[in-house]
A and B are shown apart, each in its own frame.
Chain A
């Protein structure tokens, strides 16, 4: 198990997949914040007054974390944030499905698709990868404090 967690090629793959997904997901949202705001509004979970500020900031966090994951810079904290994001995405999409909402998932900005279990599974896979990256980075930090990129 330890060897799997510390396998650097496996973590490299995870880093690139999660990183690229987050960067792609952020671009459209950054370009057209109003659209992302409307997507968030559709979930009916946040108070109206907080929606725009979320729509302005969240895509930038996604973008930075994506870049950091790929460049292996601030690896532990970016995978930590990404994991928290993915957990909340999973909860939000699940709640939308359970409430029977037919809304745009807002996962990839302009490329609209309705909320579905498929999206949840996708996010769970990404979450596993991201948790893997997080554990890898903490282990590496324990072994070689200088290599963690902190």
Chain B
């Protein structure tokens, strides 16, 4: 068996892949930085979360009628075109107790970032479905919201990425109060919390 040509060919394939990968990554809109940074999870204190209650009376599932951000709408196309992942590599996380409190007081827009099918099978009451993988389709809905809306995001569990994709997108649009329910729907089910399915909602 001739060993040299095998490795020569294999290296050629790998070299070609490196070349294609790097070129594609620099030209693609969804390209990523070559070196990854760790995402820091910052726990959120109750005082920060519940400091000014009068501001956050967003009823879940009710479209928020808010002053249109004309500037944002006018720049809608260019914002979308220039969409880049934000530099900031940290997310604010909340625990299940804080989620319960937020739910009780109906003070936040709750976003379920999982896929449509998972959402249909069960989700936190009042949550709207914005699948992380197609978040850009919801641009027009989000752009009308006040940028200081309290937004609670969740997906399955702490390693789930879908809510981060939505969070990144919203951060790019200028939303400032984004909180991730780190335990996600898995913890929600583990703790036997109530949930709704599509039919009963």
Q: Is the CB of A80 within 8 A of B6?
A: yes
Q: Indicate if the CB atoms of A55 and B32 lie closer than 8 Å.
A: yes
Q: How far is the CA of A42 from the CA of B61 in the complex (A)?
A: 32
Check: A5 CB closer than 8 A to any chain B CB. no
Query: B interface vs A, CB < 8 Å?
Result: 1-2, 5-7, 9-10, 12-14, 16-18, 20-22, 24-25, 28, 30-38, 85, 115, 133, 157, 159-161, 164-165, 186
Which of B13, B35, B164 has a CB less than 8 Å from the CB of A65? Answer: B13
A78 at the interface (CB under 8 A from B): yes
Residue among A34, A51, A81, A110 with most chain B CB within 10 A: A34
Question: Smallest CB–CB gap between B159 and chain A, Å?
Answer: 5
On A, residues with C-beta under 8 Å from B are 30-35, 37-39, 41-42, 48-53, 55-61, 63-65, 68, 74, 76-78, 80-81, 101-104, 110, 112, 138, 141-142, 150
Known: A60-B17, A61-B14, A80-B10. 19 other contacts (CB 8 A): A30-B24, A33-B30, A38-B161, A49-B35, A52-B32, A52-B34, A56-B22, A56-B24, A56-B25, A57-B17, A60-B18, A64-B13, A74-B12, A77-B10, A77-B12, A78-B13, A81-B13, A102-B159, A110-B133
**Which of B17, B24, B25, B34 is most buried by chain A, counting CB atoms within 10 A of its CB?**
B17
Residues of chain B within 8 A of A32, CB atoms compared: 30, 133
What number of A-B contacts does a CB cutoff of 8 Å give? 101
Q: Please, how many angstroms separate the alpha-carbon atoms of A59 and B34 in the complex?
A: 15
* Chain B residue nearest in CB terms to A75: B9
A sample of 17 cross-chain residue pairs with beta-carbon separation below 8 angstroms, ordered by A number, consists of A32-B30, A33-B30, A34-B32, A34-B165, A50-B36, A56-B25, A57-B14, A57-B17, A60-B16, A61-B17, A74-B13, A76-B9, A77-B5, A77-B12, A77-B13, A112-B115, A150-B9
Q: Chain A residue with minimal CB distance to B22?
A: A56
B14 CB to nearest chain A CB (Å):
6
Distance in angstroms from B115 CB to nearest chain A CB is: 8
Tell me the nearest residue of chain A to B6, going by C-beta: A77
A48 with B13: CB separation less than 8 A: no
User: Quick check: B10 and A53 within 8 Å, CB to CB?
Assistant: no
Q: Which chain B residues lie closer than 8 Å to A138 at the CB level? A: 1
